Every structure is written in C-alpha cells, then in structure tokens.
Amino acid sequence: MTEKFEKHFKELVKKVEQYLSASIKEENNAQGEIYKAMNYSLLAGGKRLRPVLTLATAELLGADCDEVMPFACALEMIHTHSLIHDDLPALDNDDLRRGRPTCHKAFGEAVALLAGDALLNKAFEVMAEAAAKMNDPAKGARIMQKVGNASGTEGMMGGQVADLRCEGKDITEDQLRYMYAKKTGALLKAPFLIAIEAAGKTGTDEERKLLEYSETIGLAFQIKDDVLDVVGDAKLLGKEPGRDAADGKTTFASLYGVAKCEKILEEMTVKATSIAKTFGEKGEFLREMAEYLLERNY
Amino acid sequence: MTEKFEKHFKELVKKVEQYLSASIKEENNAQGEIYKAMNYSLLAGGKRLRPVLTLATAELLGADCDEVMPFACALEMIHTHSLIHDDLPALDNDDLRRGRPTCHKAFGEAVALLAGDALLNKAFEVMAEAAAKMNDPAKGARIMQKVGNASGTEGMMGGQVADLRCEGKDITEDQLRYMYAKKTGALLKAPFLIAIEAAGKTGTDEERKLLEYSETIGLAFQIKDDVLDVVGDAKLLGKEPGRDAADGKTTFASLYGVAKCEKILEEMTVKATSIAKTFGEKGEFLREMAEYLLERNY
C-alpha cells in the first residue's frame, strides 16, 4: 500500500464520517433513543468501503464529488441497517460487532429493529433531499432507483433470504456465486452505478470496465470474508471467527479450502488491477484498492 | 354513508389493489420466499386508507391521479412494512393480523423481518422510478422527501420508539398526543402532503385547510382505535381486543373512558367535516370519509 493511497483513503473516510456525523442529530425528545441507537452503529467505525469507492470512482470519472456525497453516505446507512438487522436474534443472533456489543445488546431488540428500519429510511430521505436540489433531479431519482434495486429483493435483501435458504444445505458454486452477488455484491456494485450515473457515463466503455471491476472485487471481498472466518483473528475481526462452519454454511472456504481460495483471490485481484490500469494514472486508487482488499485482515 | 361515496371508495381501492398486485412479481428464484411474504401481507386486504386518501385529495385538487398513484401505493407498502415489524416478537408479538397468522407466524421471523425491510425499500424504489419519469422530477423528489420524513425518526418510526418508552408509564394527554401524531398521524398526513405537492398547492389556503383536516382525522383515527380495543369485536377486528390494557398502555380510553372518547370523536368529526365542506361539492368525499372513519367498527 503506497503512502499516497493510504493518505487519500483516509481523506475520503474523514469526509464521509464528517457527513455521517452531521446527518443524524440526536434530539432530546420522547424518541431520543432511536437517534442514539442509529449513531451507535453508524458511527462505530468500519472501513467505509462503499462511500469511499463511490467518491473515488466519481473522481476517476470527473463527477462532482459534493453532489455524489449524499448518495455515497446513503450506502453506508443502508449497509449499517443491514448489519443491525443481521445481528438480531431472528437472524444471526450476534453479540459482538466491531468489538462492541451489537445494537440490540446495547439498546434492546425493539429499539434495534426500529433503528435499523430508520437507517434504511434515512438513506432514502438523504438521497431524496439531495435529488430535489440537483440541477438534474431526474438523474438523482435514477441514482436512487439503482441504489434501491441494489438493496432490495433482487439485491442485498433478496440475497439474505437466499442465504437463509442455503444454510445447512450442500449448494453448488453457482448457487453460492448467485447468493453472494446479491447479498454483498449488489451493495458493492452500487458505488460504481452511482458514480457512473452522476458522471453521465452510462452506456460507455468506462461503465463496462468499472462494472466488471466492481463485480470482481465484490466477489473477492466475500471470498476473503470466507477465508477470514477460518483463519482470521478474533481481535482484529471484532467478532469470533468460525461462525460459518458452526452454522453449516457452504462458503468458498468449505468448497475449496483456504489455500485454493487464496489462489482464486490472487487471480481475481490481478483481474481487478488490470482493469484499473486501463484508466492510467486516474485508475491508481482503484488498483491499490483491489490490493488492499486482498491484504486486509479484518 | 351515501352510495356515491361507497362506490367511489371501492373504485379507488380497486385501482390501488391493481397497482399493488402488479408491483411485486413473485420470482421463482433462490429468494422467492421474500416475494411471497411481502405479498402475503401487502395483499391481505385492509382499508387502503392512505392510498385512497392520496387519490381522493389529488382529485379534489385537480392533480394527475396516474402521476400520484406510485406515491399513494408507496404509503401502503410503508404501512404494511410497519405492521409486519410491529407484529414481530421483539415488538408486539402478535399472532393474528386481519384474521390470519401474522407474517412471522406464516414465514418465520427471519423472512418476516427481511420482507418488512423489503417493503420499506420497495416503497422508495417505486417512488424513485416514478420520480425519474415525471415531467418535473424535482417535484417527485420533494414528495419522496416528505414521505421519508413521515415514516422516519420524526414520524412513524420515531413514534414507535416513543410508544415503547410510554408503556407501563402514566403519561399526560400532551405526551400521548405527541406520540400519536408521530406513530400514526404522520403517515395519515402524508397522503395530503403528496397530493398538495403534486397539485402545486404548497403555501396555499387549501394546503392549510387540508393539513388541519388530516391532523384531525389522524388523531380521531387513533382515538377510535383506542375505543375499539376496549369495545371492539374480535371477529371484525381480526385480532383480540384488550391488548392496550394488558400492556399497561395509556390511551385516550384509559385517560377518559369510552363515553367521553365517543364525544371527543364526534367533535373531531364535526371539525373535519366542516373543513371538507369549505371545498363545496369537491369536498364531499373527504366529508364522508371523516364520517366513515368515525363509524367504522374495525
């Protein structure tokens, strides 16, 4: 990882966190707890990968980063919504997230359920407010539609149901890829869809290349997660590894073993970096991002 | 209730249900169950009050009803989302809704949680798609923003948290009104906000009158619910009454008794019908609607 990449990554994270911190004001009213619970999870750190990818791709394509920011941060709200609901007893029943008690452990199940709902809702509130003020509000509405499709039944939420139905079953690699493309892939592709639409680059060769890049890192991200659940360190992960095996989940690690997964990951990283390189100097950040995602240990 | 009112109500419900039925296509894929669970709850009948109010107010103001339809139906999706999540064990833990097993009783908690999420998400997908195609997409974005505010932390979801915090406590009428205005009032006001924005009537005297009407019937609706929970018939309600008292909830019925509530309701209905009458013949539907909401027994 070059110093330049690290510095720019940190700059983007800082901008994102400033925006997120200002998004949800804690009100001292009868429902004050919902704001606390939302911010507890939203401002708990994390890689901020989705908004960072959105901003970096907007930069690459010459889109207006200020205009893109609300949509970038909406992705982080939707991602956090999904983590809160995933952790609930009805789904994964997790006690720890990023080294801290999960939202329902800290605020109770009822408030966590509603705080998760409210983060999803807030994402669309933020996007609608931004779209209404854009020079081209139809563009804003199209971006919202793409984000909504990414989080909905043919994206993240559908993928979660597919995941539930795969538990304890032997599934094929094709079925696993289908489920991953929706469950985590869709929301990792959304940053590119936002930036491409914002830059007016739909239907271009740049779109085609960026979407191939996004699908590659999206699947690699999930395979890396599968590997970390086998060999990862509890402290770095902020949660106990070994959950997939305990839940009887088919993963790339269970299908092929860790060594073969590492090899697949390297190949996918080469593919992603090659695509990034076709953008020349402008593609440097995405090239390093693919390498960073391969090397991460949490 | 005049025949004319009943006929038009039914016509509007029919249009709404046609739109809702066509909104969520059941796919035979790995996540097929989420579509089934969404439609199980969305197409389970119900009064369709929020979309009907939206269309009727659009008619009153001369807005384009076809343009308004996706936003009207988005309200029904958000309403259904809230019912599914409300019924979950983490919140009300209800087994019956509209005389049938609740969504989580029929599909399990995990799928019900995700189907509820997906209905909220779908509401915004539908609205974003509609806004992108409008002649004035900024107007569509402003409507989405108002709907999002109505369902979010300063509306329905915030009201649900306030409600949780009121349980088992003695609260004042002011606190109860605050909670009701958010929990149920906000989403009953949204139809009017949509129609007013669609008709380009913000800032007019018509807006002021319609919002007063909406706040009046919104509170009356909730007080009527309080009364029905005491004197209602289980068969007609589709669920067992007596829950509020069992949960130690302060309601208008617990504060003032049923007889005084009936009197308050009559006064509120007179107020709402008086406002509707100021619109002359065009206000007839809203006048009868206020009376219908008073007389309903479920």
Minimal CA separation from A276 to chain B, in Å: 31
| Residue B148 near chain A (CB below 8 Å) | yes
When scoring B124, B135, B173, B180 by the number of chain A Cβ atoms within 10 A, the one with the most, hence best to mutate, is B124
Note whether A152 contacts B120, CB cutoff 8 Å.
no
pLDDT digits (tens, 9 = 90+) for B14-33: 999 999 999 999 989 999 99
Note whether A153 contacts B118, CB cutoff 8 Å.
yes
Backbone angles phi, psi at B101, to 5 degrees: -55, 140
Bridge partners of residue A101, in order along the sequence: A96
CB atoms within 10 A of CB B233: 11
With bands split at pLDDT 50, 70 and 90, how would you rate the model's confidence at A153? Answer: very high
Structure tokens at B196: 């007013």
CA distances from B165 to A33, A34, B178 (A): 9, 11, 13
| Residue B165 near chain A (CB below 8 Å) | yes
Task: Mention every residue, 6+ apart, whose C-beta is less than 8 A from residue B225.
Answer: B184
When scoring B104, B109, B129, B157 by the number of chain A Cβ atoms within 10 A, the one with the most, hence best to mutate, is B157
pLDDT computed for residue A272 by the predictor: 98
Chain A's closest residue to B35, CA to CA, is A153
| DSSP conformation letters of chain B | --HHHHHHHHHHHHHHHHHHHHHS----STTHHHHHHHHHHHTS----HHHHHHHHHHHHHT--HHHHHHHHHHHHHHHHHHHHHHHSTTTT--SEETTEE-HHHHH-HHHHHHHHHHHHHHHHHHHHHHHHHSSSHHHHHHHHHHHHHHHSTTTHHHHHHHHHHHTTS---HHHHHHHHIIIIIHHHHHHHHHHHHHTT-TTSHHHHHHHHHHHHHHHHHHHHHHHHHHH--HHHHTS-S-HHHHTT---HHHHHHHHHHHHHHHHHHHHHHHHHHTTGGGGHHHHHHHHHHHH---
**Helix, strand or coil for residue A291?**
helix
> How would you classify the pairing of strands B100-101 and B96-97?
antiparallel
With bands split at pLDDT 50, 70 and 90, how would you rate the model's confidence at A98? Answer: confident
pLDDT digits (tens, 9 = 90+) for B178-206: 999 999 999 999 999 999 999 999 999 99
Note whether A30 contacts B162, CB cutoff 8 Å.
yes
Note whether A148 contacts B124, CB cutoff 8 Å.
yes
With bands split at pLDDT 50, 70 and 90, how would you rate the model's confidence at A164? Answer: very high
pLDDT digits (tens, 9 = 90+) for A127-140: 999 999 999 999 99
How confident is the model over A151-173, as a mean pLDDT?
94
pLDDT exceeds 90 at position A200 = yes
Chain A's closest residue to B142, CA to CA, is A132
| Residue A246 near chain B (CB below 8 Å) | no
pLDDT computed for residue A169 by the predictor: 87
Note whether A88 contacts B90, CB cutoff 8 Å.
yes
For residues B190-215, one letter each, b for 16 or more C-beta atoms within 10 angstroms of the residue's C-beta and e for the rest, the string is bbbbbbbbbbebeeeebbebbeebbb
pLDDT computed for residue A298 by the predictor: 84
Q: Which residues of B touch A125 (CB under 8 A)?
A: 145, 148-149, 152
pLDDT computed for residue A222 by the predictor: 96
| Residue A145 near chain B (CB below 8 Å) | yes
Q: Which residues of A touch B145 (CB under 8 A)?
A: 125, 128-129, 132
CB atoms within 10 A of CB A172: 10
pLDDT exceeds 90 at position B236 = no
When scoring B36, B126, B161, B173 by the number of chain A Cβ atoms within 10 A, the one with the most, hence best to mutate, is B161
Q: Which residues of A touch B144 (CB under 8 A)?
A: 124, 128, 131, 144
pLDDT above 90 coverage of chain A, percent: 90
Minimal CA separation from B231 to chain A, in Å: 28
| Residue A91 near chain B (CB below 8 Å) | yes
Lookup result for tokens 């609706």: B221
pLDDT computed for residue A167 by the predictor: 86
Chain A's closest residue to B148, CA to CA, is A125
pLDDT computed for residue B195 by the predictor: 98
Q: Count how many Cα atoms sit within 13 Å of the Cα of residue B104 in the half-sphere of its side chain.
A: 22
pLDDT computed for residue A237 by the predictor: 85
Please report, for chain B, the start and end positions of each structural domain, with discontinuous segments joined by +.
3-295
Distance from C-alpha of B182 to C-alpha of B175, rounded to nearest angstrom: 11
pLDDT computed for residue A168 by the predictor: 83
Tell me: ipTM over 0.95: yes
pLDDT computed for residue B119 by the predictor: 98
Minimal CA separation from B23 to chain A, in Å: 12
| Residue B111 near chain A (CB below 8 Å) | yes
pLDDT digits (tens, 9 = 90+) for B127-180: 999 999 999 999 999 999 999 999 999 999 999 999 999 888 889 999 999 999
pLDDT computed for residue A116 by the predictor: 98
Q: Which residues of B touch A165 (CB under 8 A)?
A: 30-31, 33
Distance from C-alpha of A13 to C-alpha of B135, rounded to nearest angstrom: 37
Distance from C-alpha of A192 to C-alpha of B62, rounded to nearest angstrom: 40
With bands split at pLDDT 50, 70 and 90, how would you rate the model's confidence at B238? Answer: confident
Distance from C-alpha of A294 to C-alpha of A288, rounded to nearest angstrom: 10
- Could you tell me where the beta strands, DSSP code E, fall in chain A? 96-97, 100-101
Note whether B114 contacts A175, CB cutoff 8 Å.
no
pLDDT digits (tens, 9 = 90+) for B239-291: 888 888 888 899 999 999 999 999 999 999 999 999 999 999 999 999 999 99
Question: In whole numbers, what is the pLDDT of chain A averaged over residues?
Answer: 96
**Helix, strand or coil for residue A96?**
strand
Tell me A280's DSSP state. Answer: G
> Which fold does the domain B3-295 belong to in CATH?
Farnesyl Diphosphate Synthase (1.10.600)
pLDDT digits (tens, 9 = 90+) for A249-265: 999 999 999 999 999 99
3-state helix, strand, coil in chain A (%, to 5): 75, 0, 20
| Residue B110 near chain A (CB below 8 Å) | yes
Q: Provide the residue count of chain A.
A: 298
**Helix, strand or coil for residue A101?**
strand
Question: In whole numbers, what is the pLDDT of chain B averaged over residues?
Answer: 96
